[in-house]
Every structure is written in C-alpha cells, then in structure tokens.
Chains A and B, each alone.
Chain A
Amino acid sequence: MATNASTAAPIPRPNKRSRYSENLLAATAVTPPILLLVLFIGIPAVALLATAFTDYSPGIEPEFIGWKNFTTLFNSSVFYSILLRNIGYVIGVVSLQLLVALGIALILDNELPYRRIWMALLIAPFAISPVVGVVIWKNLLDPSYGLVNYVVSSLGLPTVPWMSTPLTSMIAVVIVAVWRGFPFIAIILFAALRGIPVEVKEAAKIDGATSFQIFWHVKLPFIMPALSIMALFETIFAVREFDTIQTMTGGGPGTSTSLLSHYLYRTAFGTFRFGMGAAVGWVMLALTMLMAALIIWRAYRDMFPKNKA
C-alpha cells in the first residue's frame, strides 16, 4: 500500500536540552506566519465582524443594536434563497473543479509528448486576470453574438439563451468558476501524483492490477492528503466567490444569481450598511465552517497523527 502521511514516524523523544532547543526552533519558525495571520487577518476581521451588532455606516455614529441585524437577515426571504443557492453553488463548483482537476492531473501524469506545453495551456486560465477572463466568456456565451451559440446553431442545434434567465445565468457562472478554479488544483494534484514512488506503481502493475485499480488503491490514497487540503481551500474560495458573480451577472436578474459574498458587498459597499454586511460575514464564516467541517478536522488531524510520541 501507499506510504501514507501518518506513517511518517516522528523523531524519537529527545533529551531535555534538545527539547528546549526544539521549542525554540519551533517558535522561531511558526511565529512569523502566525504574526502575519493574526495582525493582518484575525484582528481586523474580528474588529469588523464586531460591527454586526451595531448599525455602523460610515459617516454616522454607530449604535449598539444587539441581534437586530441578524433578526432582520433571518426574516428576509431573499436571504434564505441566497443562502440555499450558495450551498448548492459550493457543492457543485467544488466537486466539478476537483473532478476536472483530478482527471487532468491523471492525464498529465501519463508519458505525453510535449507535456510541458500541454500543461502550460491547461493551466493558463489560472494565470489570466479574472476580470478579463470573465469578459471573454461573457462574449463567447452571448446569446445573440457569442461564438458558442454561433457554433451550436451552425451545427443545426438549438441555441441556449445564456445569461438571459436565472438558470442560464447561474450555469454560465459555474462554467467560468470551474474554468478559473481547476488549474490550481490540477497543479497540486499533478505534483502529488509525481511524488508516488515508481516502484509502488510498478509493483502494482506486476501484480496484474488494472489502471482503475492502480488509481483507486495506489494513486488515490497517496494523493488524498493533498486532495483534502485542496477541497478545504476550494470550499473556502467558493463560499466567498465574488469576482465572477460581480463581473458576469452583477447578481441579476433580480437577485437570482446573488451569493452571500455578493450580498455582503452590496449591503456593505453598495448600500453602506456595514453592520448588516458584517452580519452576512458571520453567516459566511459559519457556512464555511459547516461545509468544510469534515475537511478542517481531517486537515487538523493530519497535522497531529495519532501515533505521535
């Protein structure tokens, strides 16, 4: 079987003196990133989220209003439909991205001529400015003038009214989100696949395993830690998806493609209700935690395997 993450045995318990130096070493290494995280993310985020309990709006003295922002939010039917849509969106986009990326990483893992070029072409969507990428897609998917419908109608097939109804707008957003998101996962999974020792794969092959068996029993367990971390981060990214919505549909028609982050932006920056926006921020945070709970737990556990000394 694969060399799994948790089997990397820690170094045996050292003596007292070196334990002191180990503490020092660990502290030196961990302090800078933690400092950055706390100073530039933790503290400001908490400071802003605290405004959820006020009616803060720039230029007006804030007042403490308790849970009022939350009750308003939970009494609005628009909010519920956005919340549900966000959950569906995260599940859909993350699973599609992981599937596509895994497929592409597996393809790239074969001996291909000019693999370097193929890889660059496949990874390019990640390297493109998001705003420009969206503009191009918006034009490719234009219901009347876009290339996609042009090709479809030239083939004599019925065209799709992209971006014209809530459903087709949402599908367009998902297409673009997957397009922009998959290369990032593919790079990591590809690197993880390359890390599988050749002998392991060879041994499986000699045992007469099919390609699928090799994938399922050898490759998948080996890249699982990387896959679960990618799932964690993609979930975090998908819950807060903003650029694509804002530039593709602006949340419309109506609020039918709006997601929480877009709703947050509209409330906080669009309509200056920062208190209310912060309340939406809390919901986003809770949603991320809920949706990623399993992966968070896994990622956290992976950092401290059970067989620790």
Chain B
Amino acid sequence: MAISASTVNRRRSPTLLSRLRSRRYAAYWMVLPLVLMVIGLVVYPFFYSIFLSFENKKETKFVGVRNYERLIRYGTFWLVVGNSFRFTLTAVFFKASLGLALALILNNLPFRGQRVWRGVSLIPWVMPLALSSLGWWWIFEPTHSAVNWIFVQFGITPKPWLSDPNWARVSTIVTNIWFGTPFFMIMYLAGLKSIPQSLYEAAEIDGAGATQRFRYVTLPMLRKLIAITMMFSTIVTFANFDIVRILTRGGPRYTTHLFGTYAFNIGIETGHLPRGAAIALFMFPVLGLAAFFILRNIARGEE
C-alpha cells in the first residue's frame, strides 16, 4: 500500500520526489554526528582495547593472551572478582529493597508532602558522587568522626572502618546504598502511580488485606520495572569507580577493589595499560548479560 502510493507520487510530481529524497538524505545528515561519535569514541576504542590487551607493558610486542593468563593466575585478581560481585549483589539488593520501601511510604503521603520529600530524598542521587564520597570518607574516619562517636554513645566498640577488609567493604557498600536508593525510589514511585487504582479496589472487595494487595497486585504489576531497574543498577554498580577510589583506594591490601578501580591502579598508576585494558574487559560479559536482559524486558513491554 505504502509502496504503491509512493510510486504514484513519483510519477506525478518530481518536486515531491525530490522532497522525499531530501527527506531521506536529511535523516542521514541528522544522525551522522551521532554515528561518527559512537564509531570513533565507543566502537573503535572498544576494539582497540582488545588489541591493546594483547600487548606487553611497553606496547612494543604482541604477547597474545599473556595479560589475561597472568591475571587469572594472580590471587589479587580473584580478590577483585569476588569483591566486585559481592559489592554489586549486596548493594543492589539493599538499594532495591530500601528503594521499594521508600517508594511505598512516599506513595502514602498526601500530594504536597510527597512532592517535597521525594525531592529531598533524591539529593544523594543528584549530588556528584565523587564529592559525597569525600563526605563519607570523613564520616568513616575512625577517631574524630561521626560514626564511631555515635557507636560509643550506644556502647558499641568503635570499628576500624576503612582499615579492616570487611569493615571497609561494608563502608563502600553503605555509601553505594546511600547514593543509589533514591534512584530505585523514583523508578518504583513512578511505577506505583501507573498501577490502576481499580485493581486495589477489586482486591479489597475480594477481601484482600494490605499484605495480600501488595503481594498479588503491587508486586506483579511492578515486576518488569523491578527487573529493569535492578539490571540497570547492576551495570552502574558493577562499573562503579568513585566510591572505592575515594574511600579506600582498593585497600586494605586490594580487598575492596572493583574492576574499575583495579584497572585504574594497574593501567594508569603503575602504567601497565595493556593489563589495565584486560582487567576492564573482564567486566564486559557481566555488563553484556545485564544489557541483554534489559533489552529483552523493554522489547517485551513494547509488544
């Protein structure tokens, strides 16, 4: 149908034809800057990164998979792998749970209060993470700062927040939860608003209590949104750099490194760019998998 219409047009008026043609060319011109940027600054660097990771430290010789091999044989690398997964899974779990709780609470508030407190709750997300991480770094300072002082007031022994591996991990995760919970809240709150009120009314008529309404109406309606948000957050959390860099620099003894900070340490600080590239590329499978699930969910939503 569309084709026949355009052939008719083509025969009848050449001016319209040139307009159609210019329409097509116009589109190419319009996406050209984007395409050039993506090819030049995303696609090319990505493949270049793979190439780079096969070179030796001085980048004079092709050494095959040696950088990867070395990494896999080092215990340090596996510390980074383990910590990255622990950091991501724990942080995303807490962010999703707290974000959902907060969204439910805010959704109960009357319009004006909701608007104000929603805005206030978003501040951790809006503030530049590198700068708020400096604040958290100071909060976790063991002798002069807040957390340990509060602990002592409650009779809890002060903790070596950033100098003990496990407490350092807790510190980085808490900072990440602080930063990311508002993002989940804002997504879930938008999702809650899109659930038709009639569903709740129907459930109530059927005698469903508050928990049942949550279990059988809210959760199923938000399922897709929860999945997308968590996957998205997994990517961002897994690839985090600022928090660990500022709070611990990956220490004590490499125990809090994530892929990003470890790649920075090896690639930029010790100057072994090829191995740094290899470390960063190890993130790719996880990121790719998460991206795949997001796209699948979004595509399903469009059906």
The answer to whether A and B belong to the same complex is no
Residue ranges of A at the interface with B (Cβ–Cβ < 8 Å):
none
